[in-house]
Amino acid sequence: MAQGNLLLLEDDPENLKSLTRALSKVGHTVHPFQDPVEGVAFFEKQANLDLVITDLRMPSMDGIEVLKRVKEQDPSVGVLLITAFGSVESAVQAMKVGADDYLAKPVDLYELRNRVARIVEKRRLSREVDELKARLDERFGFETIIGHSPAMQEIFQQIRMVAPTRATVLIQGESGTGKELIANAIHQHSDRKRSRFLPLNCAAIPPNLIESELFGHEKGAFTGADRTHPGKFEQANGGTLFLDEIGELSPEMQAKLLRVLEERSITRVGGTAPIPVDVRIITATHRDLDKLVQEERFRMDLLYRLRVVEIRIPPLRERPEDLPLLIHFFLGQFNEEHGKKIESIGDGVLDVLSRWPWKGNVRELKNMVERMVIFCPEDTITEAHLPPDLKSPPIGDAAVSAPGAPAPAFPEKLEDMEREAILKMLEETGGNKTQAAKRLGIGLRTLHRKLKDYQIKDERSEP
């Protein structure tokens, strides 16, 4: 039976004691509260609760309000309502707005244990699916990150080395290069992978709200603060907080972030008590922070703390050898998404793609491939399916290939791209199929099948 971390709200003291005893006996950790207001306040300060069990009818706060409050705080938390027979209709309605299940009074303790175990297990499985999603997909490269160029292989090696440490990481790269993917890969390869990876775009939060968003606020801290709100640091406690566009922080917020890094604690807006936090910080920016330091717009001491390790993601125009794999992956993705069966790229298309400057990097390429898939009625993408502006790069834009230089030789069929990727990975792993399959993001059986399909022979003894 799945064991969970439970919050129990029941205004009847005898029922509260009985339910707590019944759930504790089978290994659950139970936090019982007779006052739902106190229970919700506990929930707002606690991390990693699996399930809230609440009576529907309580004098100070009913179960529907409890449901709304806890789901606002953590949409993934389970909620089980306990209701009197006459309120079953209300409980069913509550399930439509987020409750997982309900039980009518008098509560059958055996049934209660079964329902709780089912909800807890569902939540645990959901977490595991989120963590393993990238590893179960057939993807080329470092899990969700695609690329076999020397520059990307160096980044993969940096991820492997820095992930198990506590070091802060600064990721530099143009817009669309995949900075959040790199940050997430670091998190997934760390000992924090079972806790939250929480991204926040600092440029997207108004300056007057960024402190509350990061550190949280107490009830009544400012107009509209009608309840206590834990910030991103508390929500990511035990995990990783990814701060994108860190160069947009005001000097005041830079000073407060530096203090958090030094003291490993935060203070909510309107609060006085420091709250310890255990959070790994990964930041990213497209801006030149050294230049901002020289202009006295970014703190040098904060930059030193954030840049213990620096990873620079090259723009797509600097790694044209990754284009075939990226196009292959996006074609497969959009074939499935849009119900198409495009099998090849026509003469000249890859030549044009290789010479485009890709100012929007991988994000721009992805959008371009989706557009071509949508407007291609047959099984081959030709130059006719290219957007008009793609055929003639604007004057002054640097193309991937130098003017007059031959474009990289790209295989035109999807099967050729896949075969090339497998051969390259076998070469890099010295013929180790287990390692090759792992780095390609596919299962060993899948690799063996593809070796047979593409008639790739390898005489090494390693299976």
What pTM did the predictor assign? 0.61
Q: What is the pLDDT of residues 181-218, one digit of tens each?
A: 999 999 989 999 889 999 999 999 998 899 999 999 99
User: How many residues are present in the chain?
Assistant: 463
The verdict on 38 and 117 lying in the same domain is yes
State mean pLDDT over 312-318: 94
Residues 212 and 275 in one domain: yes
301 vs 410, more confident: 301
pLDDT one-digit tens code per residue, 246-262? 999 999 999 999 999 99
**Amino acid in position 21:** R
Per-residue confidence (pLDDT) for residue 417, from 0 to 100: 65
Residue with tokens 């298309």: 349
Contacts of 232 (CB under 8 A, 6+ apart): 198, 200, 213, 214, 241
Distance CA 427, CA 418 (A): 14
Looking at 314, 336, 371, the residue that finishes a domain is: 314
Rounded CA-CA distance 198/200 in Å is: 7
Residue 194 lies in a domain: yes
Tell me whether residue 141 is in a domain: no
State residue 414's pLDDT score.
54
Examine residue 137 and state whether it is found in any structural domain, yes or no: no
| Residue in the block written with tokens 């970014």 | 298
**How many CA atoms within 13 Å lie on the side-chain side of 269?**
23
Last residue of a domain, one of 379, 394, 410: 410
123 with 95, same domain?
yes
Q: Is the pLDDT of residue 8 over 90?
A: yes
- Provide the pLDDT for residue 129: 55
> How many angstroms separate the Cα of 31 from the Cα of each of 110, 127, 166?
20, 22, 32
Q: In this structure, is residue 241 part of a structural domain?
A: yes
Q: CATH number, domain at 332?
A: 1.10.8.60
Give the three-state DSSP class for 183: helix
Residues 308 and 333 in one domain: no
Here the CATH number for the domain that contains residue 56 is 3.40.50.2300
The answer to whether residue 143 sits within a structural domain is: no
Instruction: Provide DSSP, 289-345.
Output: HHHHHHTTSS-HHHHHHHTSEEEEPPPGGG-GGGHHHHHHHHHHHHHHHHT----EE
Residue 431: strand, helix, or coil: coil
Residue 344 belongs to domain spanning: 316-410
Same domain, 239 and 222: yes
The pLDDT confidence band at residue 430, using thresholds 50, 70 and 90, is confident
Mean pLDDT of 330-349: 83
CATH no. for residue 423? Answer: 1.10.10.60
Q: Per the domain annotation, does 358 fall within a domain?
A: yes
User: Does residue 164 carry a pLDDT above 60?
Assistant: yes
C-beta neighbour count of 421 within 10 angstroms:
22
Q: Which of 288, 314, 340 is the last residue of a domain?
A: 314
Q: In what order do the strands lie in the sheet with 78-83?
A: 29-33, 5-9, 51-55, 78-83, 101-104
Same structural domain, 323 and 371: yes
457 and 334, same domain (yes or no): no
CA distances from 125 to 76, 98, 129, 303, 395 (A): 12, 18, 6, 39, 53
DSSP string, 234-259: HHTTTSEEEEESGGGS-HHHHHHHHH
For the segment 392-414, what is each residue's pLDDT rounded down to a tens digit?
554 445 444 444 444 444 444 55
- 209 and 99, same structural domain? no
Q: What percent of the chain has pLDDT over 70?
A: 85
Rounded mean pLDDT, 167-180: 95
Tell me, what's the pLDDT at 48? 74
pLDDT (tens digit, 9 = 90+) per residue, 345-399? 776 788 888 888 999 999 999 999 999 999 888 888 888 888 887 765 544 454 4
Tokens 């205004």 -> residue:
11
R_g (Cα) of the chain, nearest Å: 27
Kindly state whether residues 177 and 67 are assigned to the same domain.
no
Same domain, 174 and 247: yes
- Residue 10 forms part of a structural domain: yes
Please answer whether residues 43 and 49 qualify as being in contact, where contact means their C-beta atoms are separated by less than 8 angstroms: yes
pLDDT tens, residue by residue, 62-113: 888 999 898 888 888 899 999 876 566 776 777 777 888 888 888 999 999 9
Residue 101 Cα distances to 54, 81, 114, 175, 231, angstroms: 11, 6, 11, 44, 29
Where does the pLDDT of residue 132 fall: very low under 50, low under 70, confident under 90, or very high at 90 and above?
A: very low
Cα distances (Å, whole numbers) of residue 133 to 74, 137, 138, 188, 324: 21, 7, 10, 11, 24
Q: pLDDT band for position 165 (50/70/90)?
A: very high
Same domain, 293 and 183: yes
Q: How many domains does the chain have?
A: 4
List the CATH number of the domain containing 230: 3.40.50.300
Both 157 and 302 in one domain: the answer is: yes
Determine, yes or no, domain membership for 116. yes
What pLDDT band is residue 443 in, cutting at 50, 70 and 90? low
CA–CA dist 41, 229 (Å, integer): 10
Q: Classify 399 as helix, strand or coil.
A: coil
Cα of first residue to Cα of last residue in the chain, in angstroms, is 38
